[in-house]
């Protein structure tokens, strides 16, 4: 027992010694290193790259830059292997002071060396100047360019006539270099809208004000939708594809993923899933139950590990008609190729990619789209079989809006 106790005591002493040694400075030299010299800067959008010369000091561990962003003290560090440091987060082009310190292994700082910098206009300014807003179905649509990159938020406000103030209505988050988004759910009456851009440092632009009138629309009743795959409707014009003029073939579906799941309102459950290894393009005809001028539609991919992969649609067309017996009456209503925000290869997704899948992806029909009762989804290819001859199709949900005629 004495031998075991002595052994445990040695282990405990050894661990304590290791703990003390790990907490000690790498160097016992308590002196501060010499400061940097010859600082210079290169202006960047909302930032600056500062270069400098380092002292010949074996005690130098890193360089620390101190500065302020919106009244809050910030700092960034660069190891002694580098001769530059980036300071960022500035919301304007005003001149400001950055203090540079060399720091020893024992965390002793040198005297400060100050340099005045003047950043270029930040990304939020260039995005704000690029905003183009137009009226859209149930709201407004905004296009933007974010050529400088980085995460931004475009905020949308609506003027409250009753309270005489701006109400926050929506936020659009993105790191894409360009794109567009819509806000919906508004009545078809004239309204004042405000838009601003914000970055992750809480820098804000001014607010753009614009008066527009959303276009009337309503969500079509999904309970009226009917699976048209067994109706023997002739396929729309497919020339020069070999199946032109034939009846629309019925791509079977997995038993737990029937046609009706595509319109059950559940964006997180099982959706519609055809059987696999079908000739592409696949045709999915639908009787809408009413004649309507279609305004937009929204689809939800199969999420999780299937995002931008597997049988989720990559390229498609939507055709429409009011006479399913006449193959020549079908007209092309919309044609799309899905864009993956990150642009990463198959199987790789970012947080933004995942969020897009969860939010659903929305597409507008042209304003001059004719009113139709019957539509057909032409599935050209899926993400797992781009430009392939064989493939399959699945989504969890689809919602369609328009003006009933």
Q: Can you read off the two tokens belonging to residue 338? A: 């899905």
Task: Quickly tell me which residue has 């990159």 as its tokens.
Answer: 149
Query: Which H or E element spans position 2?
Result: helix 2-23
For residues 228 and 276, what is the distance between their CA atoms, to the nearest angstrom?
Answer: 19
Which domains, ranges and CATH numbers included, belong to the chain?
37-117 (2.60.40.10), 123-212 (2.60.40.10), 218-404 (2.60.120.260)
Is the link from the previous residue into 60 a cis peptide, with omega within 30 of 0?
Answer: no
pLDDT of residue 107: 94
Strand positions, DSSP E, 304-371: 313-321, 331-337, 361-364
Q: What is the pLDDT along the chain (405 residues), one digit of tens a residue?
A: 434 444 444 444 444 444 444 444 455 567 899 999 999 999 999 999 999 999 999 899 999 999 999 999 999 999 999 999 999 999 999 999 999 999 999 999 999 999 999 999 999 999 999 999 999 999 999 999 998 888 999 999 999 999 999 999 999 999 888 989 999 999 999 999 999 999 999 999 999 999 999 999 999 999 999 999 888 888 776 554 454 455 565 677 888 899 999 999 999 889 999 988 888 888 899 999 999 999 999 999 999 999 999 999 999 999 999 999 888 899 999 999 999 988 999 999 999 899 999 999 999 999 889 999 999 999 999 999 999 888 899 999 999 999 999
Is there a contact between 356 and 341 (Cβ–Cβ < 8 Å)? yes
Kindly compute the dihedral angle of the four CA atoms of residues 128, 130, 133, 134, in this order, to the nearest 10 degrees. Answer: 180
For residues 181 and 82, what is the distance between their CA atoms, to the nearest angstrom?
Answer: 41
For residues 336 and 364, what is the distance between their CA atoms, to the nearest angstrom?
Answer: 10
Is there a contact between 371 and 295 (Cβ–Cβ < 8 Å)? no
For residues 153 and 182, what is the distance between their CA atoms, to the nearest angstrom?
Answer: 14
pLDDT of residue 204: 94
pLDDT of residue 367: 84
For residues 338 and 301, what is the distance between their CA atoms, to the nearest angstrom?
Answer: 11
Give the Å distances, CA to CA, from 346 to 39, 328, 351: 45, 37, 15
pLDDT of residue 122: 96
Sign of torsion, CA 13 14 20 23? negative
DSSP state of 122: P
For residues 173 and 152, what is the distance between their CA atoms, to the nearest angstrom?
Answer: 6
* Residues facing 6 on adjacent strands: none
pTM of the model: 0.74
Best CA proximity match to 159, nearest among 140, 177, 142: 140
């Amino acid at each position: 027992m004495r031998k075991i106790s002595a052994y445990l005591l040695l282990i405990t002493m050894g661990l304590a010694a290791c703990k003390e040694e790990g907490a000690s400075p790498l160097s016992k030299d308590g002196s501060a290193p010499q400061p940097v010299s010859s600082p210079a800067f290169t202006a960047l959008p909302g930032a600056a790259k500062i270069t400098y010369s380092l002292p010949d000091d074996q005690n130098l561990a890193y360089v620390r830059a101190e500065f302020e962003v919106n009244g809050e003290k910030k700092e960034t560090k660069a190891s002694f292997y580098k001769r530059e440091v980036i300071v960022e987060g500035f919301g304007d082009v005003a001149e400001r002071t950055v203090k540079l310190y060399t720091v020893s292994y024992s965390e002793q700082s040198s005297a400060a060396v100050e340099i005045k910098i003047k950043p270029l206009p930040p990304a939020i300014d260039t995005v704000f100047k690029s905003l183009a807003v137009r009226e859209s179905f149930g709201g407004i649509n905004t296009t933007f360019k974010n050529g400088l990159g980085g995460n931004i938020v475009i905020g949308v406000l609506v003027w409250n006539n009753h309270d005489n103030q701006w109400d926050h209505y929506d936020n659009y988050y993105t790191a894409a270099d360009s794109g567009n988004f819509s806000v919906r759910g508004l009545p078809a009456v004239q309204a004042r809208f405000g838009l601003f851009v914000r970055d992750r440092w809480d820098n804000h632009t001014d607010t753009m004000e614009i008066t527009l009138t959303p276009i009337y629309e309503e969500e079509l009743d999904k309970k009226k939708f009917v699976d048209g795959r067994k109706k023997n409707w002739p396929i729309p014009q497919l020339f020069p594809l070999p199946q032109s003029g034939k009846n629309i073939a019925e791509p079977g579906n997995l038993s737990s993923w029937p046609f009706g799941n595509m319109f059950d309102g559940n964006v997180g459950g099982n959706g519609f899933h055809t059987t696999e290894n079908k000739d592409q393009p696949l045709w999915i005809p639908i009787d809408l139950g009413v004649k309507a001028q279609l305004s937009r539609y929204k689809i939800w991919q199969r999420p999780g590990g299937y995002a931008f992969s597997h049988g989720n649609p990559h390229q498609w067309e939507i055709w429409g008609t009011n006479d399913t017996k006449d193959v020549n009456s079908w007209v092309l209503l919309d044609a799309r190729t899905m864009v993956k925000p990150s642009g990463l290869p198959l199987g790789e997704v970012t947080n933004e990619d995942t969020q897009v899948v969860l939010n659903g992806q929305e597409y507008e029909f042209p304003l001059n789209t004719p009113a139709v009762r019957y539509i057909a989804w032409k599935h050209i290819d899926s993400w797992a079989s781009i430009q392939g001859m064989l493939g399959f199709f699945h989504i969890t949900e689809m919602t369609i809006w328009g003006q009933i005629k």
